[in-house]
Structure 1
Amino acid sequence: MIEKDSSSGAPSGGGFRDTLSTQPTVFVPGEDKLTEQELRALSPQDMLWRHRSTQSLSQALIMMVDDEILNIEMTQAFLMDAGYRHFVNTDQPENALDMMRKAVPGVLLLDLSMPKVSGLEILAAMRDDSALRHVPVIVLTSSTDPQVKLKALALGAMDFLSKPVDPSELGLRIRNTLTANAYREYLGQHDALTGLPNKQRYRKMAAEVLSQAKAAGSAGALLHIGVDALGRINDALGRVVGDQLLQRIAKRLASCVQTEAGGELASEQQNPTLYRFDGDEFAVIVPYMEGVHSAAAFISKLLEEATVSFQRQGSPEVFVTSSIGVSVFPNDGMDADVLIRNAGLALRHAKQAGTNRYEFFSPRFNEQAMSRLDLSAELRHCISRDEIELMYQPRVELASGRVVAAQAIVRWKHSSGRIIEGDELMDLAGQTDMDVAITEWLFDQLHKHVKHWKSAGLQPVPTGIKVSLANMHPRDLGYLVSAAVNSGIELNMLSLELQHVTALENLPPREAAHLPGLRKKGVRIALDRFGATASVGHLRKLMCDEIKIDASFMADLEKDAAVQAMLLGMGDLARRLRVNCVACGVDTAQQLAFLRRNNWDQAQGRVLGEPLSDLNFAAKWLTRSGKPLRVPLPGDGT
């Protein structure tokens, strides 16, 4: 069953519960079902008419500029009878701009034919003033020249009435103009999908709250809430379903935030408020808190409310979670843009660490982001500067100690002296669109090295090549493999170790089918970083010859019994599926002993052999006969 919505019965920023409708959604019937009326209640149009009454429009400031004071007095008298209460006027048009800057009107009634400064000159000056260019202007003039009318409209006038003006028509024009302007302002500050205040409103309110907190010497926080894997929902079920999901999460979050009004997280001036920040993100401003601990329960409640479930008829129930990033003021800054960026960084780290969790901002996030930004810029020049090299590391069959393959490792010698290689380099390359260029370079280098080995009479061994699919399409990978074969590399000598395989989910089936095609031709396909960025789900969809366990498991092996159990489970899974299983990052004798004790297939790591250049690898591990050499394994007595 789908869970009951804990927010039912509580208003949530837009009257979510009206009457039932037959609008189809993916939600099963019940209190959680979003009806057509409820969806419409989230729209800016309905929100506008709920919050903008005739009385609120009557509070608008109306300004009139006319060189005849009698016209001003008569017009104002009529508008007062119509219910308007706030006016400002002048019969000296040269003062009009200064008056508007002191108090920006809701609508300006402007005569065109005036001495000293004409109405057209005022319109031109308003258009060039960022504070006044959006003030709606109704032109009142006795001129009948159509060119004058066109020029006034071209300068930004919204409406045009010829004198003498019919009072009833003027009243309707003012009402419609104020309503349209209010609607425009609303749209400019609210999200069309959820009806929540938008990113612009969020930034403005964050700056206001920070100013108040600085004056009071108090603390608070910005929370960024990101829906986990919304892209996959959109891809699998369609964007309409994704939008309905966001609307539902908005409803639940709004109810949760509203319960904190006047509570311990509210300041004297502000309550916690919810915003739609970006495509899959929401934001909450917590204007006051005694300490981080006082917000922890609220954050946990937000995580709970942002976890929703839904199902289609005949389909299993789907659960969607969210993650939260938190930046705290004044500790993490007192500038709105800085805090918003810090909350975004914290959210990104929360998502990278898993799902349905929260992270507080740490200065190291900034350092990592800046370091990655610098590296990304320099990585684009690494090939032309000849800063990268291709190394090889032996892969060993643990039962016999034989070297059965080579692992190709791209190493970047950064100008600072830092060495970036392997998975770290491929991740960075995938984020900077350099993975395609590096893969092409890798194939080119492999071709040269294999040619050198063969010319020396040495027999190459199968070589594993890390391939990032973040930007590399399977069709292009097929071209690289074909070029390698044409250069003299046998297909069975290649093993493509696929990283960032989630990118395949966004490709058309015809494009993704190129990978099984390569496997049928004889190229070995490996699922790299299994247990971290690749899962059993990927293994089920992508038939492969081997799985390579992420090196993080080896790093935690000796201190975590759960990791040991996971490794044994993955090894057993590989045996049952009849695929090869390779342990990566085996750097200590203790790790190696654990693997051998549990009959592991193959392993690679520094305890079995350091990465070497092509010449040094050939000299140490390749033979003329092709008979594999053995690695002396600890405990063998060899």
Structure 2
Amino acid sequence: MATDSSSGPQSSRSSLDTEPLSFPTVFAPGEDKLSEQELRALSPQEMIWRHRSVAGLSEALIMMVDDEQLNIEMTQAFLMEAGYTHFVHTDEPEGAMAMLRKERPGVLLLDLSMPKVSGLDILAEMRDDPIARHIPVIVLTSSIDPQVKLKALALGAMDFLSKPVDPSELGLRIRNTLAASAYRDYLGYHDALTGLPNKQRYRKEAAALLGLARAEGSSGAFLHVGVDGLGRVNDALGRVVGDQLLQRVAKRLASCVQTEAGGELSSDIANPTLYRFDGDEFAVLIPYMDGIHSAAAFINRILEDATVSFQRPGAPEVFVTCSVGVSVFPTDGSDADVLMRNAGLALRHAKQAGPHRYEFFSPRFTEQAQARLDLGAELRHAVSRDQIELLFKPRVELSTGRLVAAQALVRWNHPSGRVIEGDELMDLAGTSEMDVALTEWVFEQVHKHSRNWKTASLQAVPVAVKASLGQIQLRDLAYLVNAALSGGMDPRLLVLELQQLPADANVAQRDTAAIVALRKKGMRIALDRFGATASVAQLRKLQVDEIKVDASFMRDLDKDPTVAAMVLGIGDLARRLKLNCVATGVDSAQQVAFLKKNGWDQAQGNFFGAPVTGINFAAKWLARVGKPTRVAGADGGPHSG
């Protein structure tokens, strides 16, 4: 790249500079001084358009690179009068890059025509520098060659001024360049939805705070605040309503945090600060904490103040709460990323325990998360290593004692000797991206066993397969079912038990259509865990054939008269809706007697037999399909199955 040559030993001006030598090369003749009114118009402190991002423009550092010292002195004097108080410069362009990296100015005023190292050389080097490439540059030059201007702009110059420069124009361009840069930085460090500092700002300020805390030996905390059930609101009312809800929560939290400024959770140099962390999460950085007890009142106030309600016309009022996870430094870590992770783990455990709770981090959370991660990785190899097996449990008709269906149960026999099955295995499959693969394997195994039973001239019964819509999309599930049916599986021998559907009646129309299509093929659809994660509202939207009552009702049947009344009510509801009603978790003769007495249809549980392999299930149950099997009744007698 060619550099502009010097015109003589006493001058550093290029032959491209056209103004007379007797005039300064920066400002036009007679315009080096501005009136007070003109200066006020240029001052960043007197701008009539304002924004939070440009509030500190007068504090911005301006750097100038020009080989003529007089130009530098005149520009500095003008900037000082205009209200810019920070200025650095060099008349040795060969040292400009080192100064740029050290000072990181808000804007660079760069002369193009300089000996040894030209402004174009500096622009080219800035473009390849990870720090300097983001510094806005205003080029000052006397060149009239349009190719020179284009090259400067191509190398990253933001603005261009020809010498001699009108000082009013220079002042306005500096102000506008700084404002644009400040707004860019504002967007980079603030959340667009709530206006709060964002995750990047959180990380940066958390790291700075931890450095000061280590030096002073003080303690503080990271609080992660999560909105409970925001996904359900988005599903039911749309993302726009969900965003409005987040904005309301943000305002509540901001008000709560602001009241702590200068209080017992503040340090000498910092107050508690609120951030929008991610998705449905906010974060509060507490710079000082004299023991966990000092933060407890503040956390409880967050839980109370962040509760918001909304109401649609003609609909009941809905309340939305928050949960909080807390990590304390230096006890729970001294690194910002570690403390954020630990606060996130604590928040997850708080939400698992129920909404509107808080939880302090415990090392066991990390151990559990690591163990779960390791299990998820091992699960990917478990199928190929024959560690997964499919077992069957009987479902009986209470009035006759006959077998009416089989419940498929997936069990993982871990090499450590641990047995993982049921909901735990389904959740693990979902978090390790194995949900689709494991469900596909279950259908293949059910089909294989059904063929084997048919080959052995046994009377096959429908097999119920659980599917969690919290882990697998209904459209993916429908695809797997249709693939199994295309492979020759009889749809009349399959019951699909749906768990973790969207809350209340928030089932998408395409999902209800998928269920209708499966039922038309002859398959039965069951709503699983009714009374726990499934509700009456879902029955209004879904066309199902049966409901399976959550096992918790049987566990508490003898302990709580309210539970007994609810069981009677569920049974009556099912009869009125002409739905098959199945009690699960039946473990005692007393429970069987209660169900028979009150006209329940079917039941399953350990009372009727433990889960067994397909061969043993066939030998014990299928050979006797259609024959009465005495089931314990009111007399508490033993069952014969």
Q: Same fold (TM over 0.5)?
A: yes
2:183 corresponds to 1:183: yes
Q: Which residue of 2 aligns with 1:272?
A: 272
Cα–Cα, structure 1 residues 568 and 118, in superposed 2: closer, same or farther, change >3 Å?
A: farther
Aligned counterparts, 1:272-351, within 5 A: 272-351=272-351
- Looking at structure 2, the residues matched to 368 and 306 of structure 1 have their Cα atoms a distance apart, in angstroms, of 29
- Looking at structure 2, the residues matched to 296 and 612 of structure 1 have their Cα atoms a distance apart, in angstroms, of 50
Cα–Cα, structure 1 residues 294 and 540, in superposed 2: closer, same or farther, change >3 Å?
A: farther
2:499 corresponds to 1:499: yes
Q: Which residue of 1 aligns with 2:256?
A: 256
**What does the per-residue CA deviation read over 1:293-325, in whole Å, with 9 as the maximum and x for residues that have no partner?**
222221122122221122344444332222222
Amino acid paired to 1:110 = L
Q: Which residue of 2 aligns with 1:535?
A: 535
Cα–Cα, structure 1 residues 77 and 575, in superposed 2: closer, same or farther, change >3 Å?
A: same
C-alpha displacement at 1:178, in angstroms?
1.2
Q: Which residue of 2 aligns with 1:15?
A: none
C-alpha displacement at 1:104, in angstroms?
2.2
User: Contact 1:548/1:583 (CA < 8 Å) preserved in 2?
Assistant: yes
Q: Which residue of 2 aligns with 1:429?
A: 429
Give the stretch that moved more between structures: 60-69 or 288-297: 288-297
2:120 corresponds to 1:127: no
**What does the per-residue CA deviation read over 1:311-355, in whole Å, with 9 as the maximum and x for residues that have no partner?**
344444332222222222222212111111111122222223332
C-alpha displacement at 1:572, in angstroms?
5.1
Cα–Cα, structure 1 residues 409 and 153, in superposed 2: closer, same or farther, change >3 Å?
A: same
Cα–Cα, structure 1 residues 419 and 174, in superposed 2: closer, same or farther, change >3 Å?
A: same
Give the stretch that moved more between structures: 116-125 or 451-460: 116-125
Q: Which residue of 1 aligns with 2:63?
A: 63
**What does the per-residue CA deviation read over 1:520-557, in whole Å, with 9 as the maximum and x for residues that have no partner?**
55422211123333233223322323222334555666
C-alpha displacement at 1:482, in angstroms?
5.4
TM-score, length of structure 2 as denominator length: 0.84
Amino acid paired to 2:51 = W
Give the stretch that moved more between structures: 506-515 or 489-498: 506-515
Aligned counterparts, 1:162-561, within 5 A: 162-398=162-398, 400-470=400-470, 472=472, 474=474, 477-478=477-478, 481=481, 490-502=490-502, 508-552=508-552
- Looking at structure 2, the residues matched to 414 and 586 of structure 1 have their Cα atoms a distance apart, in angstroms, of 27
Cα–Cα, structure 1 residues 48 and 555, in superposed 2: closer, same or farther, change >3 Å?
A: farther
Q: Which residue of 2 aligns with 1:12?
A: none
User: Contact 1:404/1:628 (CA < 8 Å) preserved in 2?
Assistant: no
- Looking at structure 1, the residues matched to 282 and 511 of structure 2 have their Cα atoms a distance apart, in angstroms, of 34
- Looking at structure 2, the residues matched to 627 and 209 of structure 1 have their Cα atoms a distance apart, in angstroms, of 75
User: Contact 2:429/2:435 (CA < 8 Å) preserved in 1?
Assistant: yes
C-alpha displacement at 1:597, in angstroms?
7.6
- Looking at structure 1, the residues matched to 629 and 489 of structure 2 have their Cα atoms a distance apart, in angstroms, of 21
TM-score, length of structure 1 as denominator length: 0.84
Cα–Cα, structure 1 residues 559 and 376, in superposed 2: closer, same or farther, change >3 Å?
A: farther
C-alpha displacement at 1:508, in angstroms?
4.8
- Looking at structure 1, the residues matched to 48 and 431 of structure 2 have their Cα atoms a distance apart, in angstroms, of 42
C-alpha displacement at 1:599, in angstroms?
6.4
- Looking at structure 1, the residues matched to 49 and 454 of structure 2 have their Cα atoms a distance apart, in angstroms, of 75
- Looking at structure 1, the residues matched to 219 and 559 of structure 2 have their Cα atoms a distance apart, in angstroms, of 39
User: Contact 2:504/2:535 (CA < 8 Å) preserved in 1?
Assistant: no
- Looking at structure 1, the residues matched to 504 and 489 of structure 2 have their Cα atoms a distance apart, in angstroms, of 27
- Looking at structure 2, the residues matched to 368 and 70 of structure 1 have their Cα atoms a distance apart, in angstroms, of 68
C-alpha displacement at 1:370, in angstroms?
1.9
C-alpha displacement at 1:96, in angstroms?
2.0
Amino acid paired to 2:440 = E
CA RMSD across the alignment:
3.1
Give the stretch that moved more between structures: 579-588 or 333-342: 579-588
Give the stretch that moved more between structures: 550-559 or 168-177: 550-559
Q: Rg larger in 1 or in 2?
A: 2
Q: Which residue of 2 aligns with 1:101?
A: 101
**What does the per-residue CA deviation read over 1:191-233, in whole Å, with 9 as the maximum and x for residues that have no partner?**
1121111111111122222223323333222111222222333
**What does the per-residue CA deviation read over 1:371-414, in whole Å, with 9 as the maximum and x for residues that have no partner?**
22223233333333333221111123445544332111122233
C-alpha displacement at 1:171, in angstroms?
1.0
Cα–Cα, structure 1 residues 286 and 399, in superposed 2: closer, same or farther, change >3 Å?
A: farther
Amino acid paired to 1:178 = L
Count of aligned pairs = 592
- Looking at structure 2, the residues matched to 48 and 600 of structure 1 have their Cα atoms a distance apart, in angstroms, of 71
User: Contact 2:435/2:472 (CA < 8 Å) preserved in 1?
Assistant: yes
C-alpha displacement at 1:174, in angstroms?
0.8
C-alpha displacement at 1:416, in angstroms?
3.6
- Looking at structure 1, the residues matched to 529 and 415 of structure 2 have their Cα atoms a distance apart, in angstroms, of 28
Cα–Cα, structure 1 residues 573 and 225, in superposed 2: closer, same or farther, change >3 Å?
A: farther
User: Contact 1:529/1:551 (CA < 8 Å) preserved in 2?
Assistant: yes
User: Contact 2:584/2:605 (CA < 8 Å) preserved in 1?
Assistant: yes
2:51 corresponds to 1:49: yes
Aligned counterparts, 1:148-167, within 5 A: 148-167=148-167
- Looking at structure 2, the residues matched to 236 and 632 of structure 1 have their Cα atoms a distance apart, in angstroms, of 45
- Looking at structure 1, the residues matched to 293 and 589 of structure 2 have their Cα atoms a distance apart, in angstroms, of 44
**What does the per-residue CA deviation read over 1:348-371, in whole Å, with 9 as the maximum and x for residues that have no partner?**
222233322222222232222222
- Looking at structure 1, the residues matched to 480 and 279 of structure 2 have their Cα atoms a distance apart, in angstroms, of 36
User: Contact 1:393/1:409 (CA < 8 Å) preserved in 2?
Assistant: yes
- Looking at structure 2, the residues matched to 145 and 479 of structure 1 have their Cα atoms a distance apart, in angstroms, of 66
Cα–Cα, structure 1 residues 592 and 267, in superposed 2: closer, same or farther, change >3 Å?
A: farther
- Looking at structure 1, the residues matched to 478 and 87 of structure 2 have their Cα atoms a distance apart, in angstroms, of 73
- Looking at structure 1, the residues matched to 557 and 208 of structure 2 have their Cα atoms a distance apart, in angstroms, of 50
User: Contact 2:140/2:163 (CA < 8 Å) preserved in 1?
Assistant: yes
User: Contact 2:107/2:135 (CA < 8 Å) preserved in 1?
Assistant: yes
Q: Which residue of 2 aligns with 1:636?
A: 637
User: Contact 2:631/2:638 (CA < 8 Å) preserved in 1?
Assistant: no
**What does the per-residue CA deviation read over 1:425-470, in whole Å, with 9 as the maximum and x for residues that have no partner?**
2222233443233222222222221222122222122221112334
**SS of 1:513 mapped into structure 2:** helix
C-alpha displacement at 1:274, in angstroms?
0.8
C-alpha displacement at 1:497, in angstroms?
0.7
- Looking at structure 2, the residues matched to 483 and 133 of structure 1 have their Cα atoms a distance apart, in angstroms, of 55
C-alpha displacement at 1:283, in angstroms?
1.0
Q: Which residue of 1 aligns with 2:25?
A: none
C-alpha displacement at 1:565, in angstroms?
6.2
User: Contact 1:93/1:117 (CA < 8 Å) preserved in 2?
Assistant: yes
Could you tell me which runs of 5 or more consecutive residues in structure 1 were left unpaired when the two chains were aligned: 1-44
C-alpha displacement at 1:68, in angstroms?
0.9
Give the stretch that moved more between structures: 123-132 or 486-495: 486-495
Cα–Cα, structure 1 residues 243 and 625, in superposed 2: closer, same or farther, change >3 Å?
A: closer
C-alpha displacement at 1:423, in angstroms?
1.8
C-alpha displacement at 1:236, in angstroms?
3.2
**SS of 2:287 mapped into structure 1:** strand
